[in-house]
Structures are given as C-alpha cells and as structure tokens.
Structure 1
Amino acid sequence: MKALRRLTVRAAYPPELAQLGQIVANLRWSWHAESLDLLEAVDPELWQSCEHDPGRMLGEVTAERFGQLARDRKFLRRLEDIGDDLAEYLEQPRWYQNEQEAGADLPDSIAYFSPEFGITEVLPQYSGGLGILAGDHLKAASDLGVPIIGVGLLYGAGYFRQSLSRDGWQLEQYPSLDPQGLPITALHDAAGAPARVAIALPESRTLHAQIWVAQVGRVPLLLLDSNIEENDADARQVTDRLYGGGAEHRLEQELLLGVGGVRAIRAYCAVTGTAPPEVFHTNEGHAGFLGIERIRELVDDPGGAGLDFDEALQAVRAGTVFTTHTPVPAGIDRFSRDLVAAHLAGMAPLPPERILELGAEEDPGIFNMAHMGLRLGQRANGVSLLHGEVSRGMFNALWPGFDTEDVPITSVTNGVHAPTWMSRDILEIAEREVGPDAVEEGGGWAALDKVGDDELWRVRNVLRGRLVGEIRRRMRASGRQRGMSDAELSWTATAFDPDVLTIGFARRVPSYKRLTLMLRDPERLRALLLDPQRPVQIVIAGKSHPADDGGKQLIAQMVRFADDPAVRHRITFLPDYDIGMARYLYWGVDVWLNNPLRPLEACGTSGMKAALNGALNLSILDGWWDEWFDGENGWAIPSADGLVDADRRDDLEADALYDLIQTSVAPRFYDRSGSRAGDAPTRWVQMVRHTLKSLGPKVLASRMVAEYVRRLYAPAAVSSRRMRADGYAAAKQLAVWRAGVVSAWPAVAVLHVDSQLSGEGDAQLGETLTLRAEVALGGLATDDVTVEAVYGSVDAEDRLTETTAAALRVLEQIDGTTRYEGEIPLDRTGGFGYTVRVLPHSELLATPAELGVVASA
C-alpha cells in the first residue's frame, strides 16, 4: 500500500541547540563554509546519506544524538559563533548601506522576478543557466546588502531528474516535492491565516496560490504554489513542473508569476512592514505581466491618483528593468493573441486591446512576451557585450528608423557567486592573499602573484583527484540505473586518472550548444583520448528538454561513444546534472570546453565558474568569452561565422578544436621543461594564475549586481519617484506629451542641409565643418525635439561607422520651418561623412530613442 502523503517527523531541538534551527532556516548555509562544517558535524554519516540536505538530515537525527550535541561544549561554542555570525551578516550595514551613507540615491526596495531560481540543489527550482544566474543574483545582493525581494513559482516536481536507459536514451522522472520538506516557510497574514493570492482565469474560474518564503541570506524569495485546496483540479496543476505543459499551461504560469507575483509582494510587504519596491526587474519575458498588474493597480484605485492607461503606463515603465537572455527569436515565449485575450478578463478595467498592443509583433496573431517586456521597461539590457549587440539587432524592428547601435538595449555582463562556486581550497588562497573581501569588493587579485607555482599546482591536483573520485562514483550509480551488474561495472574503479588532463563540458542540450561537435571525427577524438604520452579525458553532462527528441538523440550518440570499452575510462556522460555535480566539475577540470554556434550563446556563465577555480577556458568567442579572452587565460576556438553550409562549419570548427587540444592545450599541460622532475608545469600554472588574476574580479556576481544597482536600479528609482511625485503629475504630463509628439511626428522632416568648411580648399584634419539644417517640426515646439549632426567614418557604401552625435542650436524660425546650426570637427582622416536627424526630447525620457520615432536627412 502506498502512502497518500509523506511528511517528516523531527525530534525536538533541545534549548541549547535552538540556533541550529535558525541557521538551517536561512539558505546562507548553502554557501557559508563554516555553517556547512557545523551541519556535517551534527552527524557526518547522515549528512552524506541525506546528500547534504540539512532539513532532511535533521529530520532523521535521533533525540539521543541531539542530547549528545547539547552536552558537547565544543559543538555549542561553534554553534554560538556561527549563529552570532549569521545575525551580524543579516543586521550590519554592507556595501549598499555604505553607498547610501555616502550619498548615493538608491532605491529603498527592488523586486526581482524570474521563472526559476537555482539557490541550492536542496531547493530544485531551476533547469539551467537562467535559474542559476537568478540564484547568484539573489546571493550576491544579500552579500552586498541590496534590498531585493525575489519572486518565482514553487514547482511541485521541480524540473526533472535525469537517468539513462541501457541504450543511452534520456529518461525523466518527476519526484513530487513536499513543501513541508523544503527549506521554505508559509507566509501568514495578520490574522494568522496562510497568505494567498488569486487571479482570474477564463470561464469565470479563479487561480489561487499559496505564498512560500525561502530566506536567501538577507533576501526573501517569494514562491507561489497553486497546489492548494481552493483550486479545481486543473488550477492545482499550474505550478506542477518547470517549463511543463502546453501553451495555455505556460501562459497561466506566466500570469501567476507576473500578476500573482506583484500581489504576493503587496501581501508580503503588508505583513512584514518591508518597504514596497520602487524598481521591478523582470529576468526574461516570462514575468512580463507584472507590468500589466502594476498598471491595473494605478488605474483601478478609487482612492488613488485617477490615472488612465497611458498615464499609468508611463509611471510603470519608469521603474521597470527588463533583461533579455536569449540571442535567438526561438527562445522567446510567444502565445496566440486569442489565447492571451481570453485570459485578460481579470485585468479589468484595463482595455484588452491596449494590453495586446504591448505584445504585438510582425505576425498579427501572436503575442510576444519579450516585446511586451521591452515596451513595459524603460531600461533594458542583454547579459554580455556581444549579446547586447545581438539583442539590438534582434529587436531593431521595435525602433524603426534607428540604426542598430542606437537601439536602447545596453548590457550588463553576467557574473557568478564566488562563495557558491569556488572550491574552499582556492577561496582560502584568494582570501589569504587578496583579503576577506576579495569576492565582494573584487580588487587586489594581483596579489595572487605571491602564490608559488607548487602550491597552485598542488591544489589543482587535489581538486582533480576529488573530481575523479566523484566521476567514478557517479559512473557506477548510472550503470546500475541502466541495469548493469556490479561485475559489469568493476572497471569504473580505475576509470579516469587523477594525473591526466581533464576537460569538462556541461550544458543544457539544445542543438546550438553542439554537445556532439567533438564527435565529428570519432577516430581523431579517440587518438586524443588514448595518446600514450599526452592523454586527455573528458567528462560531459547536460539535460535535454523532455520534449526535445533531437537533444535526446545527441545525448544518446554521446553515450554510445562513451560506452565503447576502448575509451570508456577516458570519456563519460554523467546524468542528472545539477548544482551538486556542477561544483565538482568546476572545481576539478583543467579545461572548460564551450563550443556553441556563435553568436547564439548569450553569456555562458559555466566557464566563469570554472575560471574561478583556476580552470582554463577553451571556447568559441561567444558570450562573456568574446569580451574577456586575452590570449593568456585560455584558448579561443576559431569560428566560421557566416558559413551557410552548417555541416561544413561544424567540420571546420571541430578540426580547429582537435588542433588546439593536440598542439596547444595538451603540450602545455604536460610540459615539465624548466621544472624539477614531478614539479608543476610552469607555463600551465602561469596561465592558471593569470586566469585567476584577470578573470577573478570580472566574473563576480557582486560586480554584476553592483552594475545593476548603479546603471539600472538607481536611475529607474529616480525616474519612478519623479513619476509618482505630486499625484503622478509627471506621468500625466509625459503621457500627454508622448501622444502629441507621436501624432505630430509624420510631419517632422529635415528639409535641407548645407555645410561650409572653416578653411579654404580641400578638407584638412583639425578643421571644422559648419552645418545648417532646415527642419519642419510639424507643429512641435523646439523644446520638444533635439536636432543632431551625426558624423563619423564612412564605408564603401557610404554607411556611417564609429559615429559621434552633436546637438545643433536653433538659429531662427521662418515661414513655418526652423533653421539649426552647429559645428563638427574633422577629427579623423580618410572617408568622413555626416547626416542630420531629429529626435524627441524630454527630461522625462531615459533615452531619445524611447518613443521609437526619428526623422533623418
């Protein structure tokens, strides 16, 4: 007979151990070394068997063991010290508060929405890079004292657990997660009842959700759960799986995340007295409906400012930040316009057609979540310099008439949370040489020059050895899951070698990441793996989306190759890639391999995590590697960009990969010339040290979050406050002004441009060019526009490149036209050109491109 429900019955803590519960209740333990040591000391065997899940472990600790700990003075001193350290971490001013004290105008509170969060494997609410990035964002915000409130969904089965069939086909299992066994607590309202939110669904149905809170250091993460008794059977399944179900299921998840998430924040702030967010940050388009709910709040507020849709839109946009994570249109959530329309009844009194306009795209029958995110966010960014460039091109159609470089999408390159991803061995070296604030302040990493080659090499050997042990353990476990006997798996005891060059490759498995590029020439790969003098071993992991049979076929192809008895001790595919496995990979590999189709990798933070542990990157110049590769911190795989023949491109790039491993990577790793026998490979260790010094400060999530604060959150807060002031006077003013400018713009034109050199004869470097432009303003005032000269170099097709813009001044108004004048410097030799354009102008705009209108000569 199977149990209807499973719950954990715990022994009560003795009073002496009360702080233990407080430590476990805050997920800071997941990245705090001393807390992890303390938890292991509770019961080392249980700690291992419970897979480092403190809640699960404490549920199995006996009353007798608790009694022993309550009498253990050494343990109690450690417990008190760590409890006091946590209290200080939560209460003392940190970077953000110091910035405010120094006069920085920063928001009192920020909401951060994401469909997934990768905090710890104990809370499996993530599928890949987007969720891990979101988790690192919250952790770094906590370390810096940034007042963020996270918002997501609580999925009843998380993503999925991956195993392999005998023939290597991916199998999925969806273990049911009991919220009572997760490191979360239910939010209760002022009356002590469980806090709920509700949103309307079609056919007069209502979707209710419970609010759970995961405490991530100083940051509360609100998670919405629809599996509650108030819902009908279908509504209970809305939060069943991450990225599960069909279009309607996904749409209802995203409505709950966006609309329900805003309502959850209101409930949380009311209960806890937390300052309501001034800035709302949506991590990808999944949470875009948060902007619609905030517009509804302002319009449907009897005691409020009485805003109409357009006025509320301006107020909401000012405080919204949108981050896009995909470089391909296929990665964007797109729904049937009719399906969205059917779900908008709960947004009354907002006019449905106005909401649908926000998600409009080229196909009139489609509602585009990214387009809505960009139209609702006054500030937007990609997640690396290259991805920002790609995003400006991908979304250029939303700003017609603007060159790609003028599209108002900036970039903040992702970062990773060092205390989570750095091995303790490397972190201790960094803190010893750089200082205890190395992973927050990000300065002083040049001090690693003081670390000797032998010490760095010793640590790298230790980490590689741990990885080999973990690989062997997981190979055996996977083999048993595939139906193999212990006799068939005896060879795994000596699989992989702690002294062999180890390459890691672990990603999600969409086709563009090219899991099987290394298999383009199987014989050449075998030769690299089995080289008698310079062998290579490769550990591979990754999950394919359950509906992606193409990705599953790639996994099966890789597994079949790795099953070959001739090479299985040198290459393996490990199933069920998660945070726990990832740490061993990042810590222990010598080289991190990444070979996506350029430029389809938005950022690719896994290589950053490996670099923080002294691994060298071997990667296509895509994502973050494109901007931070310097020739000494790894290797760049040449890419055949633009080649139409996909097979030919794969062949060329695979050949380049093999060549680099054979002629550069392996020789450098095994070169002991200039060293005593058995000593460190000097040139390799030099690259390891340079990698830590050059990339360590750059790849930190603390650097990333500080950039978001300074470049996006702070300006958004200032804009939002300005919109809200005096009964939303600025929002009302901006709505009227925008409508007038957009209406008048078809009549705005540059009628004539003339120029005159400051000198005689041909143009000379250092001279100036005086421009005069005659402009029709279509009834707009001169204060409503900026007229600019845009100048720079010109290519063979007379396109301006490397441009500079300079405002022209009003000269006179005659016969309904306005004449402008200004000077531009001839500051470069060669082909030089200019044009004149007219842009809307208002102090309430974040960028002149915001309205999407421009008039050019």
Structure 2
Amino acid sequence: MRALRRFTVRAQLPPALAPLQTLATNLRWSWHPPTHDLFATLDPQAWERAGQDPVRLLGEIPSAKLAELAADAETVVTVRELADDLAAYLVEPRWYQGEREDDPTLPAAIGYFSMEFGVSEVLPNYSGGLGVLAGDHLKASSDLGLPLIGVGLLYRSGYFRQSLSLDGWQLETYPVLDPQGLPLQLLVDADGEQVLVEIAMPGGKTLKSRVWQAAVGRVPLLLLDSDIEDNDPELRGVTDRLYGGDQDQRIRQEILVGIGGVRAVRAYCAITGHPEPEIFHTNEGHAGYLGLERIRELSAGPGLSFDEALATVRAGTVFTTHTPVPAGIDRFPVDMVKHYFHPGLLPGVPIDRVLALGAEDNPNMFNMAHMGLRLAQRANGVSKLHGAVSRGMFGGLWEGFDADEVPIGSVTNGVHGPTWEAREVAGLMGEPGHPRPEEVSDEQLWDLRNALRARLVDEVRRRVKEAWLQRGASLPELGWTEHVFDAGVLTVGFARRVPTYKRLTLMLRDKGRLRDLLLDPQRPVQLVVAGKSHPADDGGKALIQEIVRFADDPAVRHRIVFLPDYDMSMARYLYWGCDVWLN
C-alpha cells in the first residue's frame, strides 16, 4: 500500500506568458537553441535549481518575478515569436511530406515501439544507447516530418541513480517521479475521462494502464503507466522500474508495451484523428508481442486465418536487433509464456502458434529475438559489421540459406545532430545545409577542439569532487581534484552500459602498459570512463569496482576517472570534449 505520494503543482502563468507552458511541454526546446536560451534567461538561478528543466523552472520562478517578466515587452515578444515558430514547425510541410506527394503509397503513419526512450534528461525514461537511439529517431523524424508515433512505458523510478561506495561498489537509488512534474499530458477521451488500456492477466485479473503523451516536436510519444488505483499492488508495480524485477516482471512489461502499446495507439488515433500506423517498427525484441496483438485484430475483425494474418503483419513490420551476443537477448521459459498467454489474453490466437514463433534450439525457452525476426518482413542490425554478425547469429532461422543470403541487413546507428552537436561547431562551420562561405582554417578547428576539451576537463573535476563527497570524503582532503585531467592532453572516452559481455575492463588486461600510456612524460593520455551496471548484475558491478580501484590510485587518478551516474547530460560533455571514443 502506497500511502505517501508526491504531487507537483504547475505554475499559473500571467496571460502574456501563457505560451511558455506549451514551449516547456514540447520537448523541441531540448534541441532548439532559441527556446532553450529563452528558458535559461528567464531566471538563471532558478534555471540551475530546476536542473535546466523548463517544466520545473516555471514552478521555481516566484510570482513576483513572473509578473516582472510579463511586464517586460522584449520578453513577451520573444515568447510570442517562439510560440509562433513552434506552431509553424508543427504543421508546415517538411521533407517527408514532399516525398509523399511524389509517392502517395508511402505510409501515412508508423508505429515505433521501444522499451526505453532517451529524449532528454528531464524525462529519465532510458538506461543507455538503445533508449538514446530511440530518442534521436523521434527527434530526427520530427525534423524530417516522418509521421511516427512512439510507444513505450512510463517508469515511475526511471532506471536508477548511480553512486559509489568508498570501496568503489555501485550503489543504486530510485527517485520517485511524478508524471505531473514531467513534460507529459494524460490521454483523455471526448468526455475528459482518462483512457485506460486493459490486458487480461492470469487468474482472472486485469492489468489496466493509463496513457501519457509526450510531445517530441511533431512526434507523439505514448507512455503506458500501470501505477493506478484500479490495479492491485502487484500489477500496479509493472511499470515501476526500467529493466527491474524478475522474469515475471519483465514478461509483464513486454506484454504491456507490445500488446498494450498497440491498443494505446488505436485509442490515440481514434481520439485525435491521427492516421493509423501502416508500418510497425520494433526497436529490439522487447516489444515483439505487438505482432501477436495485430494478428488478433486481423483474426477478429476481417476474419483472416492465422497464416493470412501473420503474412499481413509481416508485410508491415520492421525489426531492429541491437545485441551482438546471445547473452543480450530476452528469453523466457516456455511454461511462463504459456501461463501468461492464457486464452483470455489474445482470443483466437493459438498458443502453439505463439510458441512456434519464439522457438529456439532449447525447447524449454522462448526467444524474443527469434519471434521478432519471424514476425518482420524486414530486419536489420545497427552497423555493417553488426549486420554480418547478426546473419551469423540468426542464420539458423533460414535453413538452407548461406550466411550472406540471410535477410538481415544493416542501418548504421547515427545521432540527431542538433541534440549532440556543440553550438560552437555550428557557429564555426555553419548550420547543416548552410555552411559558412569563408574557409575555416586548421588553427580555428584546433582552437575549437581545445576549447571543448577544456570544458570537459572542468566538468570532470566538478563531478570527481562530487563523487568523492558522496563516497564519504571530506572537502579539505579533496584539493587534488582541482588538478584532475589536463586540457592539453589527448582525452579518450569510454561510456556505456556495463554488462559483463561488453568487456569494460579489457583496458586493464595489462595494467602496467595502461599506466605507462597515462603517465608518458612526452605524450600522455587521459581516460574518462562512465556507465551503469544492472542492479542485479554483480558481475558487471565487479567490473566497475575494478576500474574504480585502479582509478583511485594516487599515482594515476589525475589521468583516469570513473564518473558515476552516466546520463545524457554527462554524455554531451563527453561527446564534445573527448578526442577519441572507444567502443
């Protein structure tokens, strides 16, 4: 029983500043510098207290200050101009609209399903690269005018906040997030009632979820939330934590994001008039059950047979696999799948056909990646090399095919430029499509490289001191942190999630050689490491501890650091400032 809850009261804005609410809740501000700068200048101290979160900022600014801003003509004009700019951005034809004029058969909408979305650190609904890629996909789609609908879950505790013990062991804390304090809006029907997505659970129970909407520019992101009083405590906690809990928790989450996600999309489109998706994209195997829900729809509505429905679903499904090793694939015991896929979950969908879709070499296990591939007409890895690795991993699903004939292609991961590019780069080189007419000299490029590295060094020193204070050190003994790193030394970055298979400690295989590289008197290097291990993965935590203990050595601690609590805000400094990135 949850007796205590946190509530966030949103600010009442003066009429002249009312558009700030829309600007704050549409996440376009996170990659649109003029809007970002507006919020930063409204009240710089409140901006920092709010963690550079516009929604929190509006609650932090005192009423007297809001009145003062509302009386300032320049501020009011800027707010109105930016609101008009956002309104135009949301409706004006963009690249995709031009493409669709030339080819009307292009889909009117696309459903994009992912277990996590890293759109901005103010919406902490991600753990690592999978989520950040998904967030970048949404933002790039918005800029291009692609009619995506993002679908995921809203985790009340996000992933987790990471700190270190004195001996370097990872510690986790789980902040409680209030959706009212996030850039979200509840999906309601024409009568103003919240929409509930219902899923039949074993034992006659029903899992109910409400749907929150995030506006990622032009792209709606639908996030399902089971933390409602209609659910019993066990089901209420389904969306408690990202990648938390046991296998029962994981399969419930994946049923909710897949089956419940399709139902949420149907409700959203019916209420808003948004076109129904013609293509469904599953970002990794977690949401693969969406294909089964679509088979149920086609069997119940048009009355297609299972094989006819399967063929139709496959024709409109894309599957992206991210992991290069079997250990990264979700697998569930077959008996567990049978338990949850009782006749009431997907009426008309035979359980034996469901199990066949997830079959693998071990007859007692159900493989989510295998199901994703069998339900998709198109599949891809996330780099050319990863495509080749995936064809080798999954080639057995296409018996008789040579490895190079296995129908798994590749689309190399990219990033959303406006999110990750340092502003100084655009200032020097020009915006994409609008380069500066004058030539940029090598000296100017090198000066910029040095400036961005120096900014990272300042951030590293701040975070190292903060981390040691959290570990129990006292301020007087931390004077050495002011001399960590050097703005003139080659800087190497390594930051990612830390499961054992990603080999974080490969760099420590020859510690003497690493020490020599760090301390070379003529050409030293410095190394910044960051990443979180899953709370239940003691093996991954041991790897982090090994790195931390090496970096704690007074002889090298000015050249190698482990920064706890890796997130998007830290990643920007690393991306801007590192000279070399290890992967």
- Pick the TM interval, shorter chain: over 0.9
2:398 corresponds to: 399
> Residue 187 of structure 2 contacts residue 195 of structure 2 at CA under 8 Å; is this kept in 1?
yes
Matched, 1:134 2:134: yes
Matched, 1:107 2:76: no
SS of the residue aligned with 2:527?
Answer: strand
Aligned partner letter, 1:306: G
> Residue 109 of structure 1 contacts residue 147 of structure 1 at CA under 8 Å; is this kept in 2?
yes
1:263 corresponds to: 263
> Residue 494 of structure 1 contacts residue 569 of structure 1 at CA under 8 Å; is this kept in 2?
yes
> Residue 200 of structure 2 contacts residue 206 of structure 2 at CA under 8 Å; is this kept in 1?
yes
Out of 465, 483, 495, the position equivalent to 2:454 is: 465
1:847 corresponds to: none
2:225 corresponds to: 225
1:40 corresponds to: 40
SS of the residue aligned with 1:155?
Answer: coil
SS of the residue aligned with 1:203?
Answer: helix
2:553 corresponds to: 564
**1:535-560 alpha-carbon deviations (Å, 9 max, x no partner):** 22211111111111111111111111
SS of the residue aligned with 1:245?
Answer: coil
SS of the residue aligned with 1:450?
Answer: coil
Matched, 1:519 2:508: yes
* Higher RCO (C-alpha 8 Å, min separation 6): 2
> Partners in 2 of 1:524 and 1:591 — Cα distance?
18
> Partners in 1 of 2:570 and 2:79 — Cα distance?
28
**1:93-152 alpha-carbon deviations (Å, 9 max, x no partner):** 000001112336310000000000000011111111111111111110000000000000
1:78 corresponds to: 78
Instruction: Provide structure 1 residue ranges, at least 5 long, that are not aligned to the other structure.
Output: 439-446, 595-857
SS of the residue aligned with 1:470?
Answer: helix
1:285 corresponds to: 285
Could you tell which deviates more after superposition, 97-106 or 489-498? 97-106
> Partners in 1 of 2:440 and 2:251 — Cα distance?
53
Out of 406, 427, 433, the position equivalent to 1:435 is: 433
2:496 corresponds to: 507
> Partners in 2 of 1:98 and 1:448 — Cα distance?
28
Aligned partner letter, 2:252: E
1:576 corresponds to: 565
Matched, 1:5 2:2: no
> Residue 151 of structure 1 contacts residue 221 of structure 1 at CA under 8 Å; is this kept in 2?
yes
SS of the residue aligned with 1:532?
Answer: coil
> Partners in 2 of 1:174 and 1:384 — Cα distance?
34
Aligned pairs for 1:611-650 (under 5 A) are none
Q: How many residues align?
A: 580
1:273 corresponds to: 273
Aligned partner letter, 2:579: D
> How much has 1:448 moved relative to structure 2?
9.5
> Partners in 2 of 1:579 and 1:571 — Cα distance?
21
> Partners in 1 of 2:118 and 2:426 — Cα distance?
21
1:64 corresponds to: 64
1:495 corresponds to: 484
2:379 corresponds to: 380
> Partners in 1 of 2:517 and 2:410 — Cα distance?
39
Counterparts in 2 of 1:499 and 1:513: CA distance versus 1, 3 Å: same
> Residue 502 of structure 1 contacts residue 536 of structure 1 at CA under 8 Å; is this kept in 2?
yes
1:359 corresponds to: 358
Aligned partner letter, 1:419: P
> Residue 9 of structure 2 contacts residue 181 of structure 2 at CA under 8 Å; is this kept in 1?
no
Counterparts in 2 of 1:247 and 1:449: CA distance versus 1, 3 Å: farther
SS of the residue aligned with 1:395?
Answer: helix
Out of 323, 327, 347, the position equivalent to 1:326 is: 323
> Partners in 2 of 1:397 and 1:10 — Cα distance?
55
> How much has 1:18 moved relative to structure 2?
1.2
> Partners in 2 of 1:250 and 1:401 — Cα distance?
34
Aligned partner letter, 1:260: G
> Partners in 2 of 1:58 and 1:178 — Cα distance?
16
> How much has 1:562 moved relative to structure 2?
1.1
**1:141-181 alpha-carbon deviations (Å, 9 max, x no partner):** 00000000000000111101000000100001111111111
Larger radius of gyration: 1
SS of the residue aligned with 2:18?
Answer: helix
Could you tell which deviates more after superposition, 499-508 or 172-181? 499-508
> Partners in 2 of 1:390 and 1:570 — Cα distance?
35
> Partners in 1 of 2:429 and 2:229 — Cα distance?
51
1:371 corresponds to: 370
> Residue 10 of structure 1 contacts residue 60 of structure 1 at CA under 8 Å; is this kept in 2?
no
> Residue 50 of structure 2 contacts residue 60 of structure 2 at CA under 8 Å; is this kept in 1?
no
> How much has 1:81 moved relative to structure 2?
2.2
> Residue 10 of structure 2 contacts residue 181 of structure 2 at CA under 8 Å; is this kept in 1?
no
> Partners in 2 of 1:11 and 1:184 — Cα distance?
15
> Residue 9 of structure 2 contacts residue 180 of structure 2 at CA under 8 Å; is this kept in 1?
no
Out of 522, 531, 536, the position equivalent to 1:547 is: 536
> Partners in 1 of 2:582 and 2:305 — Cα distance?
53
SS of the residue aligned with 1:584?
Answer: helix
**1:679-721 alpha-carbon deviations (Å, 9 max, x no partner):** xxxxxxxxxxxxxxxxxxxxxxxxxxxxxxxxxxxxxxxxxxx
SS of the residue aligned with 1:213?
Answer: strand
> Partners in 1 of 2:78 and 2:232 — Cα distance?
49
Aligned partner letter, 1:154: L
2:242 corresponds to: 242
After TM superposition, the score normalised by the length of structure 2 is: 0.97
> Residue 430 of structure 1 contacts residue 448 of structure 1 at CA under 8 Å; is this kept in 2?
no
Could you tell which deviates more after superposition, 342-351 or 507-516? 507-516
> Partners in 2 of 1:525 and 1:394 — Cα distance?
33
1:650 corresponds to: none
2:312 corresponds to: 315
Out of 335, 338, 342, the position equivalent to 2:339 is: 342
> Partners in 2 of 1:500 and 1:515 — Cα distance?
22
Aligned partner letter, 1:127: S
Aligned pairs for 1:709-724 (under 5 A) are none
> How much has 1:72 moved relative to structure 2?
1.5
RMSD, aligned α-carbons: 1.6
Matched, 1:157 2:157: yes
Counterparts in 2 of 1:449 and 1:403: CA distance versus 1, 3 Å: farther
> How much has 1:459 moved relative to structure 2?
1.2
Matched, 1:295 2:292: no
SS of the residue aligned with 2:111?
Answer: strand
> Partners in 2 of 1:546 and 1:255 — Cα distance?
22
> Partners in 2 of 1:349 and 1:435 — Cα distance?
52
> Partners in 2 of 1:378 and 1:523 — Cα distance?
50
> How much has 1:26 moved relative to structure 2?
0.3
> Residue 11 of structure 1 contacts residue 62 of structure 1 at CA under 8 Å; is this kept in 2?
no
> How much has 1:3 moved relative to structure 2?
8.7
SS of the residue aligned with 1:211?
Answer: strand
> Partners in 2 of 1:113 and 1:10 — Cα distance?
30
1:482 corresponds to: 471
SS of the residue aligned with 1:146?
Answer: coil
Counterparts in 2 of 1:3 and 1:454: CA distance versus 1, 3 Å: farther
> Partners in 1 of 2:335 and 2:501 — Cα distance?
31
Aligned partner letter, 2:407: P
> Partners in 2 of 1:129 and 1:319 — Cα distance?
26
Aligned partner letter, 1:500: V
> How much has 1:381 moved relative to structure 2?
1.2
Runs of 4+ in structure 1 off by over 4 angstroms are none
> How much has 1:423 moved relative to structure 2?
0.5
